[in-house]
């Protein structure tokens, strides 16, 4: 390849908001025939909003910690303040805004399509503490984040853990059948749901929802036109993953849900072992290892610093359409050269 052509291609890329870490990236992009797309923040806006706080199992039994929804959210929001994950931002913002449970008038059974309306718990008055004043969060210390799992912190003197069931179990919070049933109910309603543990017991299921970017379906279609197979690999649950895949046009057999960050790397390697040249597209800390393992790593410009540092290409428009443009650009540049 002539340096002049590669430099010209690099310049064309930057005009399109496709920033290459070096001209050699154009050669790395050339043979890509499989693209793994992260969900949250890549195919979706990554701007999640809190939808429900559930403190009881579907049977109506209170979850073991027996907290009110307001208290549960206040503890959760403070623990999430140190995380830049979209789930964390949704929960911390809602806690700061003093999110309140739906009014009593809205609490008839008919008004609860998801079955996750918060249920006031008998005896909740026995638990001291409540929400922080509106606009602020409770004090948190000892924040720890585990990518693709969740967070933990000490809030208002309580041990708070938030995330997937196995993340709570690893932190010493037993997750019983009533908590798993409440989690499943929230996920079946199409939400991304996480568990809250307080002082060693499950206190709530928090549901958040996100929206698919308007450009994602066109981006996936453009990849297919280039002969590239699109995959969706996510840490989120299968119900949400399937719904997003259907909306953007990814085949169900190319959807992998519920994976840890190492699971994204394993999928990259499995496709490489099958003879594919693999691009990975992501935005999060959880995507960084797979971005580095792929033949070509592309990070959303709106993504985390870690993801951008692990990638070969930064997409300033944060759009899947730009993934197809980057591959097209490399093919056009190298066709001129060879
Ligand atoms: P994605 O692949 O969709 O970007 P992640 O790998 O970042 O998802 O997260 C996977 C799952 O881990 C989330 O759906 C959630 O259950 C849990 N999780 C990750 N980070 C957090 C957090 N800050 N708070 C609560 N749960 C989290
Ligand atoms: Mg993501």
Residue 159 sits in a domain whose CATH number is 3.40.1110.10
The domain tally of the chain equals 2
Torsion on CA atoms 328, 332, 337, 338, rounded to nearest 10: 80
Whether the per-residue pLDDT at 122 is higher than 60: the answer is no
**114 with 16, same domain?**
no
Q: Is 0.95 surpassed by the pTM of this model?
A: no
pLDDT reported for residue 117: 37
pLDDT(95) > 50: yes
Tell me, yes or no, whether 68 and 202 share the same domain.
yes
Answer yes or no: are the C-beta atoms of 35 and 279 closer than 8 Å: yes
Q: Are 162 and 186 members of one domain?
A: yes
Please answer whether residues 306 and 168 qualify as being in contact, where contact means their C-beta atoms are separated by less than 8 angstroms: no
d(CA 279, CA 256): 16
Q: What is the mean pLDDT of residues 202-229?
A: 97
Alpha-carbon Rg for the chain in angstroms: 22
Residue closest by Cα to atom 21 of ligand 1: 150
Which atom number of ligand 1 is nearest to the Cα of residue 237? 14
User: Does one domain contain both 327 and 226?
Assistant: yes
Quick check: CB of 39 below 6 Å from ligand 1? yes
Are 194 and 58 contained in the same domain? yes
Task: Note the pLDDT tens digit of each residue in 147-203.
Answer: 889 999 999 999 999 999 999 999 999 999 999 999 999 999 889 999 999 999 999
| Mean pLDDT, the chain, whole residue set | 90
Asked if residue 103 and residue 161 are part of one domain, the reply reads yes
Q: Catalytic pick from 38, 81, 156, 287?
A: 38
Please list the helix, strand and coil fractions of the chain in percent, rounded to the nearest 5, in that order. Answer: 40, 20, 35
ipTM for this prediction:
0.96
Residues 6+ apart with CB under 8 A from 59: 178, 181
Do 322 and 257 belong to one domain? yes
- Band (pLDDT 50/70/90 cuts) for residue 336 is low
Same domain (yes/no): 120, 30: no
pLDDT of residue 116: 40
pLDDT (tens digit per residue) in 309-318: 999 999 999 9
Token pair for 251: 């085949």
Residue 123 reports pLDDT greater than 70: no
Q: Is 69 within 8 Å of 232 (Cβ atoms)?
A: no
Nearest Cα residue to 174 out of 262, 64, 68: 64
- Domain holding 62, by residue range, is 49-209
224, 254 in Cβ contact below 8 A?
no
């Amino acid at each position: 390849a002539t340096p002049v052509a590669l430099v010209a291609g690099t310049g064309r890329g930057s005009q399109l908001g496709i920033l290459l870490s070096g001209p050699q990236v154009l050669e790395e992009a050339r043979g890509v025939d499989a693209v793994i797309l992260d969900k949250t923040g890549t195919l979706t806006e990554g701007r999640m909003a809190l939808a429900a706080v559930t403190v009881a199992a579907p049977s109506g039994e209170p979850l073991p910690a027996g907290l009110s929804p307001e208290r549960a959210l206040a503890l959760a929001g403070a623990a999430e303040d140190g995380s830049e994950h979209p789930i964390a931002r949704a929960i911390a913002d809602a806690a700061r805004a003093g999110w309140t449970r739906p009014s009593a008038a809205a609490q008839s059974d008919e008004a609860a399509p998801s079955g996750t309306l918060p249920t006031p718990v008998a005896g909740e008055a026995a638990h001291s503490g409540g929400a922080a004043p509106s606009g602020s969060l409770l004090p948190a210390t000892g924040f720890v984040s585990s990518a693709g799992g969740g967070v933990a912190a000490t809030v208002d003197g309580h041990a708070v853990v938030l995330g997937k069931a196995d993340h709570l179990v690893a932190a010493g919070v037993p997750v019983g059948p009533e908590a798993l049933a409440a989690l499943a109910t929230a996920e079946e309603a199409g939400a991304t749901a996480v568990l809250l543990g307080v002082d060693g017991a499950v206190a709530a299921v928090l549901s958040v929802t996100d929206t698919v970017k308007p450009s994602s379906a066109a981006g996936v279609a453009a990849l297919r036109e280039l002969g590239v197979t699109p995959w969706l690999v996510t840490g989120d649950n299968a119900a949400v993953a399937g719904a997003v895949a259907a909306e953007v046009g990814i085949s169900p057999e190319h959807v992998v849900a519920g994976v840890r960050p190492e699971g994204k790397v394993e999928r990259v390697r499995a496709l490489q072992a099958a003879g594919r040249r693999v691009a990975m597209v992501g935005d999060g800390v959880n995507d960084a290892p797979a971005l580095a393992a792929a033949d070509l790593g592309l990070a959303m410009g709106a993504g985390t610093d870690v993801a951008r540092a692990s990638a070969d290409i930064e997409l300033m428009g944060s759009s899947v359409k730009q993934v197809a443009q980057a591959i097209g650009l490399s093919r056009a540049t190298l066709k001129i050269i060879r």
